[in-house]
Amino acid sequence: MVDTAEKCRIRANGTDSRNLGCVADSSPVNRRNFMKASSITTLGLLASSENATAKTASGSGKSRPTYYTSSERQAARKNIQKYDWAKTVRDDVVAAADTILSYFTLDDLWRYVGSQNIPRSAWLARQTASHPPESSEWEAKFPVDGIEPATEPGKQWKITNGKYTLPTNDFEAYRQSGLDDKGTFDPELADESHLVNEEHPEKGKKWGVDDGLGWVDTNGDIGTAGQRWVPVAWTHHWMVVYGYRSLVGTLSEAYLYTRKQKYARAASVILDRVADVYPEFSLQNTVYFDDGGYTAQNGFPNPGHGERDAGNRSGRSGNRTGSRSS
């Protein structure tokens, strides 16, 4: 007979998706394995059931969906059946979601999410590019058509202006070498042998190399001499954070219109990983600095971030096939 501890081990390893009446290892890595194997997903539980009652941690009952309500989803499905424009919206979203699944495994989606230990910056360098590509000659080197600003998995840190590529080192390899037992990047664990210029070796071993803290263009090769460039922090802000928002939005919308579990499972893996790292996210603090890391005071060019009132962001946009049928 298999004892309870062994049942928990089996469940945590993802070989049995049943509720075995135990609390399995809840570490992020083991939970990811369970979600990959399980037929039950976060999005499937919380977004799909129109009849089941979910209990919150406080014990209060939730008797119906509250983000996209049952009536909104029914209206969207009716519109898809009735109107060509709604069918087109559905088809476009599903095509984009299928593109995501053709590029990303579930492990890739989980790894795409960064962490607080990797700085973020809204600007690539002082008095230069902000959001790409509208205000910048720099853009993702490995974009995927239809899911921008997300990029190919493992290549989210690379940008180009057509002539140069930054960072010149393989930051993803550096990041993977420094993961702790929770799958979170720790610079103290990272292998510095990955901090070598591979893109433009003719310019020297350290030219364009970024370990997350940026690189100083001493000779003015790509801008003003002595200017600090922060490609890793910039891509973390735009391609990673905004990227996984795009991934989740597309996958969840595809699930909304089709109720196919493959989209729900993929979206749930991202959401679950974001839940792991989000509590530590802060605009003002990083492991690198005692007095803040995301703001301009430490050289990361983010004018106004963390200082201005963000305003009321409680509103949400409706699903694109409409919340009302007519």
Categorize the per-residue pLDDT at 279 as very low, low, confident or very high, splitting at 50, 70 and 90: confident
Treating both helix axes as pointing N-terminal to C-terminal, what angle do 4-12 and 28-37 enclose, rounded to 10 degrees?
A: 80
Categorize the per-residue pLDDT at 134 as very low, low, confident or very high, splitting at 50, 70 and 90: low
Task: List the Cα angle 128/134/139 in 5-degree steps.
Answer: 75
Q: Give the per-residue pLDDT at 61.
A: 64
Q: Give the per-residue pLDDT at 307.
A: 37
pLDDT tens digit sequence for 68-80:
888 898 899 999 9
pLDDT tens digit sequence for 150-178:
999 999 999 999 999 999 999 999 999 99
Checking if the pLDDT of 14 tops 50, the result is: no
Ranking 45-54, 105-114, 186-195, 238-247 by mean pLDDT, the lowest is 45-54
For the four alpha carbons of 167, 191, 12 and 116, in that order, the dihedral sign comes to negative
Categorize the per-residue pLDDT at 252 as very low, low, confident or very high, splitting at 50, 70 and 90: very high
| Residue matched to tokens 């089941």 | 52
DSSP annotation of 290 reads S
Whole-angstrom distance, CA of residue 121 vs CA of residue 298: 11
How many other C-beta atoms are found inside a 10 Å radius of the C-beta of residue 94? 18
Percent of the chain with pLDDT over 70: 64
Average pLDDT across the chain, whole number: 76
Pair of tokens at residue 107: 């492990």
Compute, in degrees rounded to 10, the torsion defined by CA atoms 123, 124, 129, 134.
Answer: -90
Checking if the pLDDT of 4 tops 50, the result is: no
Categorize the per-residue pLDDT at 100 as very low, low, confident or very high, splitting at 50, 70 and 90: very high
How many other C-beta atoms are found inside a 10 Å radius of the C-beta of residue 108? 15
Cis peptide before 149 (omega within 30 of 0): yes
Q: Give the per-residue pLDDT at 126.
A: 67
Categorize the per-residue pLDDT at 33 as very low, low, confident or very high, splitting at 50, 70 and 90: low
| Residue matched to tokens 């202006």 | 161
Please list, in sequence order, all residues whose beta carbon lies within 8 angstroms of the beta carbon of residue 19, skipping any fewer than 6 positions away: none
Task: List the Cα angle 208/214/216 in 5-degree steps.
Answer: 60
